[in-house]
Structure 1
């Protein structure tokens, strides 16, 4: 579909989106209104996002909606007559009301508080048919309920994040929130050293069918660490319900294979869950680059490279979680998880460099064998103390993790007659032990939870080491390697973050809500080297405010304005001066002079849920960073480029997000969104400015067919992105899947294809500065087919117990 056709049909799509479903008569002659509020029968807490169906006197469905976050619902423009309600929600007994009269003399009916009782009955199968809305809005986040989306079978967390609001995942797996890759991804509210190190690869290890929801926080509350200029993503996996049950998933395909499953049981006081997964994924690319070296605006030489890579990444993870409740108010939880695998980066490369002065031509082939074995082991221990007053809670949390992250490469150069010219080997052995302690306390001032005070503290201690060595050959003897002293060193780095926060939430009777918070963070960083490079020490403080003002206009409409600040601290791979010279014409190194960046973010949001359940959210935002950390490339007269992160730019982004979700009829479910934004970079020190308008759109659909078949499709299109020194061309991704359920919906087979009509996908990149001008053409081979078998077994019961509290790290910059 070309751009002109897309924009011509977009208005009609939006109109149909907002007008689907059975419409109630709307005129001034129908002033009837029916309102109420759902609460838990035991705790008296509101029940948000429950389904409320409005029925006629004969029991025919007229329309329906979900309750707001405060548990309220409202049906308007009703004609006089008799009505009924059918109320359903997962974990609660259904409730029906009838004989509700709307008359001319009494057109307004307020049913007051309606109490729902929690379920405790045994279910015969591992299946709950009631599904939440695909997208929900909470005070400080948007929630994508992945478990309610049929398209999330047989994929990975990368596929799930592509459908979440405000997120972009490009063809290489790079994740961004509104164009910023400075984000923190949590798993069940806790950090992972693996997710911090290589996010795009780590997400491929998490099966999509294990994900319950994805929370996107662009303006996190004060209780969250201030790290991440773009925001925080929290991936929530499915919880163990009472009973014993498990699942098994097997995927086979030409580009991806995986085997995973879980098993757990939960009694009244004790629960245990084990899950594991192993996977392999192929990545195949071809890249061609032409780069001109510049001096005073004049060409000094030209480099041409053509590379081919065909690698298979392998990984695994396992998690063991235990929980014990001493009574209804005291419980402890313990978990142990481990990740591991290897991410190869091997390639073959043709190089040709032609120098103008002096006239010189260098031409050779290169073979690189690069490996990146890694591993992570993590322990979590937590204690939670509840009180008789609802929402009053004290939690103590501790965590220890140990990560090793090694890089090894062997690079061999040959002339065009295949004679060896040069050989180089390198190792970089990194170790990262980390301790974390955290305490949080929540105190409600009112029994309905409208006025809440939160306070807490956190201490993080990291000790990182990196031992790197480079050996290279001499021109007279290629087989003999000697140590390169100027490129070998031992780097030790320590970081300590101490933080304290306090916040208050106040809601009045007119449903205005004000959230005020502040977080004080003290960061100490120290780095030292064994030889040549002088040590460095940094000590700084940040007082981070957060303000959110929201108004619930009606139970279906709300508006919100917010402001906060975010920090991005450089991690060891940003600071480590180790030079990766696996491609000697394109060097990559860390920068020990990097300092944290501080971003300011303001938002204005409006959301509405129509009477037929369609949800629409509009969000206008502006983010600016004065000392933005950006990748900066320089090229010398020999055609060698060095890429290093520097605090050299002001980064500004202003945009508008649109997200929507709805069900049309009983079988079709649709969700999607789009973004239009203006990005601007300015670096006075480098004399570089870059800016432009960009947009992107995504659409996901699922249609249920008879005989337990379903069709699932999703796609996205982006005009690309802008960087400090360049710009990428447009890119897109689409997939189609067919699912067949059997064994009373406990088993399923899913046949999926990705980009079936694209082979390969091509993307261009243009970059430039005062030292170079480059054009790169990339080819990504993403056309794939896969078959997934899923089986759920066991029995369970619904449980209304509180979610287990775990540490939420946001203080480590993602790579």
Structure 2
């Protein structure tokens, strides 16, 4: 623990700052000794998402030298090649094998002429992504998940897809953790979502799974990404069609649990002359429920039982969502492209909560009955615009890109809370009504400039700068209503304004040798914030300001032990930060029900994490990793008991440590059977003092998630999958074990252009979370939730594609601010 911490602390010193550029210079200079050549090329005429396998062979004995796949535009390259004569061999389902002529290199880069694969006579020219792409792909700095490879993802939401990604867990409140750590930043197309856990979960429920092309899991993201997110970054890449002419796809689904749900999307692309137009539209309805039981037990200072509280809450939620994304690229010349992307969503939602509770004395005899009814009506909307420009300086790969983003969020919410108290015999003794309006606005502006500079035969340097400006305004107006007359409640009413400015710069160097790949980066970020809570007749004004700077290094190494690349070793090291959500810093309290209050915390400080991972990959099929993380001042929910009221607010845990083993395997026991399995065995520990209580505990947990896929006929396939996890320690919470099974069928129709899928989630209705709340003075609690988790879904997908491949560029300069938006 101490050596790793010391390394990162030293890198923050002025001496380390001076040494980093020097070390990079020495590294680059030393690499010139092994100057080698590169083979570059371009594949043309492929359908959307097709990724053939390219093998580079020695001509003299056909020994495999390197393997790669093209990018989304069809471009590929083989770097750091020794002098010699090679042959390029390309294979792909539905196309004839391709063998190039002899390629003779002698320390000079080779640019191959465009390559057009020839379709097999009896095969469709368009091969679906699910037939060609594996569920999991491992890269030097990330794991790529291809959702279309799983039948059970059809007709579901993006949040459902995330729950099936290896190492990703989503709790009942929508909080996302990865490999045992909270504090994950979620990106959409390399742009942060700027939302807190609850709002992000609702948005992902409104984004159909059919809109997703791939999910990138980065526990230690490279320096080009913002340093936010102590557990790393999850980047959801939406589908983009890349063929000339008109092409696209439609996804329709209907699901039925206790309540119905439907997720539908349509995307298309059209290229005409110098314009490329692309879009994605989706509509969804998601109705669900939660049957929540909470028990609380109160004790005297001497430890004897004093009283109790038991509550059942039936929560019914109805969400609808409309999402739209429209973009255009204009090709000014062969070297420069100007683009714009407009996107937004409107997500209205309603929820109703019926609470029935009883207060118990020391003999567990009921002394009072409480009935509470809470109703909420909320509309959460967003609009954003991105302007981007790219300039390809030369054919060697030098490129300059610029992005500017303006993003606006607005939440309009009204809610009411009616509390009624009764005697054990059912006689009404007291009743109150509390109403509130909770408008909020968030405005974000970002600007980013990136430059890529390939070094002559010795690697590549990437560098860039970014600035972001955030302004939020949250108003909470509460009123006590009696006999139809509303009186302001200044105990809960509040207005909070927040400003933040982050300026960052980064430098990244990467290099490939015959057996070794290296990526080394450094990022510098400065953060300035101002928070102001406006006063009212009961509460005085308060404000705070902060200014802090941090260095965030990253290192990746991949070493291939043999020429056939059967065995590969990997190493990644990085430092990250997790800043508080904007609303978490708001120092006010509001009631969730009569016995539970939620509050903000203006004293939160950023979380810093130090992450180390060692891995071994066998035949690109089985990856085993040893992982170790130290997290300082972890931001997570805390609970404090005062009288009979529980106060829930975000707080800083002194230190969390996570270490253990993960295994990710993609196996094929038979041609008709593919098995994808992920498992992790880890120890999670906490050391902290919360509200006078010492928390010093660690526990092991085990998670396993197998996915079986079966090819029954050419057009019919099936899936059987599930997961199991033991108890997991998370601060003051200790969850119970849960498990679930899901299954599905997939049938190709309409000559292979359409697919009908059936799937059933949580077959045995066992995925019902619960647990204990501990380390609270003179109190303890437990809870159990029953969810609408068993859902039967039928879906239909149809894709059309006409034309030749073209390039749609990634755009977006905003990278971390969205993940911290909270509006209620």
* TM-score normalised by L of structure 1: 0.84
Correspondence list, 1:571-720, <5 A: 571-609=581-619, 615-637=621-643, 639-684=644-689, 686-706=693-713, 708-720=715-727
| Residues 1:413 and 2:423 are matched in the alignment | no
How far 1:369 sits from its partner (Å)? 0.5
Counterpart Cα distance in 2 of 1:760 and 1:505? 43
Correspondence list, 1:259-270, <5 A: 259-267=264-272, 269-270=274-275
- 1:354 counterpart (340, 353, 360): 360
Q: Partner of 2:602: helix, strand, or coil?
A: coil
Equivalent residue for 1:290?
295
How far 1:196 sits from its partner (Å)? 6.8
| Residues 1:96 and 2:99 are matched in the alignment | yes
| Residues 1:41 and 2:52 are matched in the alignment | no
| Residues 1:142 and 2:134 are matched in the alignment | no
| Residues 1:469 and 2:474 are matched in the alignment | no
Equivalent residue for 1:458?
466
Counterpart Cα distance in 1 of 2:220 and 2:609? 11
CA contact (8 A) 2:706 2:721 kept: yes
**C-alpha deviations, 1:558-591, integer Å up to 9, x for none?**
2122211111111222112342313120111111
Counterpart Cα distance in 1 of 2:406 and 2:117? 36
How far 1:497 sits from its partner (Å)? 0.4
| Residues 1:742 and 2:760 are matched in the alignment | no
**C-alpha deviations, 1:296-341, integer Å up to 9, x for none?**
2344431111111122222121110111122221111110011121
| Residues 1:753 and 2:760 are matched in the alignment | yes
Equivalent residue for 2:11?
none
How far 1:294 sits from its partner (Å)? 3.4
CA contact (8 A) 1:93 1:118 kept: no
Equivalent residue for 1:525?
529
Counterpart Cα distance in 2 of 1:241 and 1:401? 26
**C-alpha deviations, 1:665-707, integer Å up to 9, x for none?**
4433332211110000111353122320001011122222226
Q: Structure 1 residues 226 and 98 mapped into 2: Cα distance closer, same or farther (>3 Å)?
A: closer
Structure 2, unpaired ranges of 5+: 1-36, 44-49, 58-62, 71-75, 80-86, 103-108
How far 1:759 sits from its partner (Å)? 6.7
- 2:345 counterpart (327, 335, 339): 339
Q: Partner of 1:199: helix, strand, or coil?
A: helix
Q: Structure 1 residues 721 and 462 mapped into 2: Cα distance closer, same or farther (>3 Å)?
A: same
Q: Structure 1 residues 375 and 775 mapped into 2: Cα distance closer, same or farther (>3 Å)?
A: same
Equivalent residue for 2:46?
none
Equivalent residue for 1:31?
none
Q: Structure 1 residues 227 and 577 mapped into 2: Cα distance closer, same or farther (>3 Å)?
A: same
How far 1:633 sits from its partner (Å)? 0.6
The number of residues matched between the two structures is 739
CA contact (8 A) 1:423 1:479 kept: no
CA contact (8 A) 1:378 1:399 kept: yes
Could you say what the CA RMSD is over the residues aligned between the two structures, in angstroms? 3.5
Correspondence list, 1:139-288, <5 A: 139-170=140-171, 173-194=174-195, 198-242=199-243, 243-254=245-256, 255-267=260-272, 269-288=274-293
Structure 1, unpaired ranges of 5+: 1-36, 56-61, 74-83, 100-111
CA contact (8 A) 1:124 1:796 kept: no
Equivalent residue for 1:29?
none
Counterpart Cα distance in 2 of 1:578 and 1:283? 30
CA contact (8 A) 2:174 2:198 kept: no
Q: Partner of 2:202: helix, strand, or coil?
A: helix
**C-alpha deviations, 1:84-129, integer Å up to 9, x for none?**
9952259998413799xxxxxxxxxxxx999684449999875446
Counterpart Cα distance in 1 of 2:527 and 2:55? 52
Counterpart Cα distance in 1 of 2:208 and 2:351? 23
Q: Structure 1 residues 805 and 759 mapped into 2: Cα distance closer, same or farther (>3 Å)?
A: closer
How far 1:765 sits from its partner (Å)? 3.3
Q: Structure 1 residues 808 and 89 mapped into 2: Cα distance closer, same or farther (>3 Å)?
A: farther
Q: Structure 1 residues 797 and 665 mapped into 2: Cα distance closer, same or farther (>3 Å)?
A: farther
CA contact (8 A) 1:330 1:385 kept: yes
Equivalent residue for 1:404?
410
Correspondence list, 1:21-36, <5 A: none
How far 1:54 sits from its partner (Å)? 12
Q: Structure 1 residues 148 and 386 mapped into 2: Cα distance closer, same or farther (>3 Å)?
A: farther
Counterpart Cα distance in 1 of 2:441 and 2:145? 35
Counterpart Cα distance in 1 of 2:788 and 2:379? 24
CA contact (8 A) 1:403 1:433 kept: yes
**C-alpha deviations, 1:367-423, integer Å up to 9, x for none?**
110233200001001001112243321111000000012343211123445857111
How far 1:460 sits from its partner (Å)? 0.4
Equivalent residue for 1:106?
none
CA contact (8 A) 2:173 2:198 kept: no
- 2:440 counterpart (413, 430, 449): 430
Equivalent residue for 1:511?
515
Q: Partner of 1:809: helix, strand, or coil?
A: coil
Equivalent residue for 1:76?
none
Moved more, 527-536 or 385-394: 385-394
| Residues 1:770 and 2:777 are matched in the alignment | yes
Counterpart Cα distance in 1 of 2:208 and 2:551? 38
**C-alpha deviations, 1:615-663, integer Å up to 9, x for none?**
11111111111211121111112x1010111123211111211111144
Counterpart Cα distance in 2 of 1:445 and 1:802? 26
CA contact (8 A) 1:588 1:643 kept: yes
CA contact (8 A) 1:760 1:781 kept: no
Q: Structure 1 residues 118 and 403 mapped into 2: Cα distance closer, same or farther (>3 Å)?
A: farther
Equivalent residue for 2:30?
none
Moved more, 318-327 or 776-785: 776-785
Q: Structure 1 residues 662 and 271 mapped into 2: Cα distance closer, same or farther (>3 Å)?
A: farther
Q: Partner of 1:582: helix, strand, or coil?
A: strand
Correspondence list, 1:60-139, <5 A: 67=68, 87-89=90-92, 94-96=97-99, 117-119=114-116, 127-128=127-128, 131-139=132-140
Counterpart Cα distance in 1 of 2:771 and 2:597? 21
Q: Partner of 1:180: helix, strand, or coil?
A: coil
Counterpart Cα distance in 1 of 2:182 and 2:202? 14
Moved more, 256-265 or 704-713: 704-713
Equivalent residue for 1:24?
none
How far 1:355 sits from its partner (Å)? 5.4
**C-alpha deviations, 1:40-72, integer Å up to 9, x for none?**
3369xxxx98536999xxxxxx99995489977
Counterpart Cα distance in 1 of 2:69 and 2:528? 43
Q: Partner of 1:471: helix, strand, or coil?
A: strand
* TM-score normalised by L of structure 2: 0.83
